[in-house]
Structure 1
């Protein structure tokens, strides 16, 4: 019996690339326009960039599979979309911070230091410097920050695909 199921990987790669492109476009837009979004707004935009391609990718996979979708397939689609999306985005971030704007991390840390100084007048200069050095370890271009971002992105993608798959799954009747 021939397997007529559409390829999960082929379908997912397209939406992973779309997710990465949306993320990169968001980053470029923020850099060009010099808009300072609040952390809540930026988090919401990034969450939408994560959710929409996963939802639409699972939905399209279901449609190409004659309207049927197993929960396991939805999770696979969401995982691959998240993985492809974050890998391409990480390549962009590393390129951006190391080639396009090598001093960007220092600028961000200086801005963070200014915010800490304004909000914590009771801290000593040494405590603030320790806080900044600690924050640098967890910054995105660094290995630890990048690893945490990749894991969090993939985990979030799995949770989203589990929810979407649970809502729109449909098994084939025998």
Structure 2
């Protein structure tokens, strides 16, 4: 019986992490289909953050329900990070496939878009400054770096969302 709460937490992390991972893939596919993959609109980022927050909060709510209405901030963070980790792993597998099979020229095309943006935003840069800016912009222009950054960002936002939701939802047994 003592093992059941851990099993429940793991199932919550797996289920809600899978939901969030596939939701992230769907958002990216929609963005790809509408042709906005290289310069996504800011509203897509807000929408993605809202979806992420909603799914993590529902996962925390389910964890609280399964624990007789109790949830500590620490448990909220652990559960939220678990959801974020599972989600990120699923999304990273998709991104790997996307970068290598669906859109193999992604990083080449992205470099061109970034170079054009730098030229338009900073027309008075010297050639040396322009070269440095383009080099900095291309720092994460490879699959490994991009997937690592995706994992870090996912866990960071999962931590922040879980912390805030945990503070709002916390309820502990009185000593």
- Secondary structure of the 1:7 match is helix
Aligned to 1:165: 166
**TM-score (structure 1 length as normaliser):** 0.86
Equivalent residue number for residue 52 of structure 2: 50
Map 1:20-39; keep pairs closer than 5 Å. 20-35=21-36, 37-38=40-41
For the residues of structure 2 that align with 1:131 and 1:93, how far apart are their CA atoms?
26
Please tell me whether the aligned partners of residues 114 and 137 of structure 2 are also in contact (alpha carbons under 8 angstroms). no
Aligned 1:57-136 pairs, distance under 5 A: 57-136=59-138
Question: C-alpha offsets along residues 13-47 of structure 1, whole Å, 9 cap, x if unaligned?
Answer: 11111111111101000010124543x32321221
* Structure 2: runs of 5 or more not aligned: none
Of residues 15-24 and 44-53 in structure 1, the stretch that sits farther from structure 2 once superposed is 44-53
TM value normalised by structure 2: 0.86
Deviations 1:74-132 (A, max 9, x none): 11110100111111111111110111110111112111211222222222445434322
- Looking at structure 2, the residues matched to 42 and 116 of structure 1 have their Cα atoms a distance apart, in angstroms, of 22
Contact 2:12 2:63 in 1 (8 A): yes
Structure 1: tracts of 5 or more residues without a match: none
Q: Is the contact made by 2:88 and 2:154 (CA closer than 8 Å) also made in structure 1?
A: yes
